[in-house]
């Protein structure tokens, strides 16, 4: 499947090089001319703005939009030979400046790598890195199928899967990356390989949570899930029930007894504090399952719970995503094994976060704050055992523990407030970590998909996995191309 010409701007002035274009762009000339676009072209103007967040907007010297994995390999080899810097954008949804864009260097965009097709028996869907999950779910809907992908439709396919892949079906199939059975990968030397459990098996393992440290993935082949409809929606309660709501979250996390279920509880401050949970149940005929009673027994002020397709639900949750705004996500984790520990962890995070909020409100006008949110994601034994049964991954989590990952979210209007928000989230995160460490509940795991640029990721995977990832990176990228020439992303070195 190739993107229609109606959906992408025309090539216009492909080879008219703009004044001041970088040496990195010059390195590509003569190698992949038809796929290079300079600032005076419509393609550049489109692709340089095709990001979710204002945080990601930068000024690359040119855009390289390969038509195939082979052409990407040819261009990458030219960049390496010239010692030229580059960035890579898939779905463009990681809101960290410089993670998937670059000033002056080459911005490689995956927009034309648009594979989207089912295997003959419909058990595997092959997906190119251009896609966002809303495209994938819409395609699979016609077959009564789903996939372990993003919970918000606009999220990009490659970023989610390479980070591990929190998904609605995690208690059944594990991390999204563990449903991948094969990766097509362009290595640092420009060669294209297929990594799976029998070929390049070490690379196959490393890509499950190791991000972009080993190569550029140009196709993901992952297992489909039979799921024609689900019962799902958001369930919102008023501030007076917050304590009961947080207790419900701890009750669920301490005993995830129904693998068809998934929750995302969140607190959303504003003119009035709201507690809202995304509730998801993989069934086309069961509503209000017993496992959700601690939530649904609380009187709701709003609810969208109903039967719908995954595609419809991802569109519903995707409507929460505000494009072209300034934002930051910050990740963290507490661990426990029983209800009391998990409730204590939730309470510490919640109390510390809200104690620090007045400082933010005092520095930014209310009209310039778009969204503030604090949400949690429980990861329990079923989730991790399902992942282990599929070959494991690089994340290094222990199935004897219950992990309660959380995310702090701030979205605001006006770049003049960037530094204020950055300082606030660092101070708040430091305070939360200190408090959870003091309580003996802290865990160093930071989920990459929700992490901020100032956070460390790989130390949370454990020393053994970090050493293994470093060895695999050195094996497939001995000259550290993806550590040095590609400055964006979280590095294993």
Domains of the chain plus CATH, in order, are 23-109 (3.30.43.10), 116-227 (3.30.465.10), 230-463 (3.40.462.20)
- Residue-wise pLDDT for 275-292, tens only, equals 999 999 999 999 999 999
Confidence of residue 9 (pLDDT cuts 50, 70, 90): very low
Tokens of 204: 């196959």
Does residue 459 sit in helix, strand or coil? helix
Q: Kindly report the backbone phi and psi dihedral angles of residue 340, in degrees, each rounded to the nearest multiple of 5, phi listed first.
A: -60, -40
Q: What is the DSSP string of 427-451?
A: HHHHHHHHHHHHTT-EE----GGG-
Query: Does 481 or 23 have the greater pLDDT score?
Result: 481
In angstroms, rounded to a whole number, what is the distance separating the alpha carbons of residues 315 and 332? 27
The answer to whether residue 195 scores a pLDDT higher than 90 is yes
- Asked if residue 47 has pLDDT above 60, the reply is yes
Nearest to 196 by CA among 185, 188, 211, 187: 185
Average pLDDT over residues 433-453: 97
How many angstroms separate the CA atoms of 32 and 76, rounded? 10
Q: Are strands 230-238 and 306-308 parallel, antiparallel or unpaired?
A: antiparallel
Which residues contact residue 156 at a Cβ distance below 8 angstroms, ignoring those fewer than 6 apart?
90, 91, 92, 93, 129, 131, 132, 133, 150
Task: Say which residues have a Cβ less than 8 Å from residue 241's Cβ, sequence separation at least 6.
Answer: 275, 298, 299
Confidence of residue 380 (pLDDT cuts 50, 70, 90): very high
Task: State whether residue 411 is helix, strand or coil.
Answer: strand
CA 158 distance to own-chain centroid: 8
C-alpha dist (Å) from residue 173 to 166, 449, 450: 11, 19, 21
Q: What's the mean pLDDT in 454-476?
A: 98
**pLDDT for res 68:** 98
221 by DSSP, 3-state: which?
A: strand
Whole-angstrom CA distances from 109 to 132, 190, 379 are: 14, 16, 33
Q: What percent of the chain has pLDDT over 90?
A: 91
Instruction: Give per-residue pLDDT as tens, 384-397.
Output: 999 999 999 999 99
Asked if the model's pLDDT at residue 224 lies above 90, the reply is: yes
Tokens of 348: 């510490």
**In percent, how much of the chain has pLDDT > 70?**
96
Mean pLDDT confidence for 311-330: 93
Structure tokens at 146: 């789903």
- Separation CA 383–CA 278 (nearest Å): 18
The 3-state DSSP class for residue 311 equals helix
pLDDT at 322 over 90: no
pLDDT (0 to 100) of residue 347: 97
Contacts with 188 (C-beta within 8 Å, 6 or more apart), sequence order: 76, 80, 215, 476, 477, 478, 479, 481, 482
Cα atoms found within 13 Å of the Cα of residue 304, Cβ hemisphere only: 16
Over its C-alpha atoms, the chain yields an Rg (Å, rounded) of: 22
> What's the CA gap between 350 and 343, in Å, rounded?
10
Residue 409 above 50 pLDDT? Answer: yes
Q: What are phi and psi of 467, to 5 degrees?
A: -60, -40
pLDDT at residue 30, rounded to an integer: 87
Q: How far apart are the first and last CA of the chain?
A: 37
Instruction: Give the pLDDT band (50/70/90) at residue 22.
Output: low
Residue 202 has pLDDT above 90, yes or no: yes
DSSP H or E stretch at residue 327: strand 326-336
Q: Are 26 and 61 in contact (CB under 8 A)?
A: no
């Amino acid at each position: 499947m190739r993107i229609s010409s109606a959906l992408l701007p025309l090539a216009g002035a492909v080879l008219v090089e703009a004044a001041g274009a970088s040496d990195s762009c010059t390195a590509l000339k003569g190698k992949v001319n038809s796929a290079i676009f300079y600032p005076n072209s419509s393609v550049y103007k489109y692709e340089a703005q095709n990001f979710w967040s204002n945080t990601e907007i930068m000024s690359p010297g040119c855009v390289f939009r390969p038509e195939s994995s082979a052409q990407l390999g040819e261009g990458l080899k030219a960049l390496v030979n010239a010692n030229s810097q580059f960035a890579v954008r898939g779905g463009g949804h990681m809101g960290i400046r410089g993670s998937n864009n670059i000033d002056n260097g080459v911005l490689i965009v995956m927009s034309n790598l648009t594979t989207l097709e089912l295997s003959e028996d419909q058990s595997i869907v092959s997906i190119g890195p251009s896609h966002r999950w809303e495209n994938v779910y819409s395609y699979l809907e016609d077959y009564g199928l789903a996939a372990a992908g993003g919970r918000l439709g606009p999220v990009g396919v490659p970023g989610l899967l390479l980070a591990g892949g929190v998904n609605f079906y995690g208690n059944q199939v594990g991390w999204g990356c563990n449903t991948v059975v094969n990766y097509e990968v362009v290595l640092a030397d420009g060669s294209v390989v297929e990594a799976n459990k029998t070929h390049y098996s070490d690379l196959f393992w490393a890509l499950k949570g190791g991000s972009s440290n080993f190569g550029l993935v140009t196709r993901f082949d992952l297992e489909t899930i039979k799921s024609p409809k689900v019962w799902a929606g958001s369930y919102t309660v008023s501030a007076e029930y917050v304590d009961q709501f947080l207790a419900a979250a701890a009750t669920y996390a301490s005993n995830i007894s129904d693998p068809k279920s998934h929750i995302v509880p969140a607190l959303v401050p504003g003119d009035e504090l709201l507690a809202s949970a995304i509730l998801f149940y993989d069934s086309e005929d069961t509503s209000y399952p017993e496992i959700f009673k601690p939530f649904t027994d609380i009187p709701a002020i709003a609810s969208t719970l109903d039967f719908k397709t995954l595609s419809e639900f991802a569109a519903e949750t995707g409507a929460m995503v505000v494009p072209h705004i300034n934002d930051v996500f910050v990740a963290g984790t507490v661990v426990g094994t029983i209800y009391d520990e998990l409730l204590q962890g939730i309470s510490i995070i919640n109390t510390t976060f809200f104690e620090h909020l007045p400082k933010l409100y005092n520095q930014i006008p209310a009209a310039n704050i778009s969204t503030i949110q604090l949400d949690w994601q429980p990861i329990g034994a079923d989730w991790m055992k399902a992942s282990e049964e599929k070959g494991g991954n690089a994340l290094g989590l222990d199935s004897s523990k219950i992990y309660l990952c959380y995310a702090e979210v701030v979205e605001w209007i006006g770049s003049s407030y960037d530094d204020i928000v950055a300082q606030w989230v660092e101070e708040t995160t430091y305070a939360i970590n200190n408090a959870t460490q003091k309580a003996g509940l802290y865990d160093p795991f930071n989920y990459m998909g929700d992490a901020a640029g100032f956070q460390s990721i790989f130390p949370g995977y454990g020393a053994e996995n970090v050493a293994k990832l470093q060895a695999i990176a050195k094996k497939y990228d001995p000259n550290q191309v993806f550590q040095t020439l590609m400055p964006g992303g979280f590095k294993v070195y």
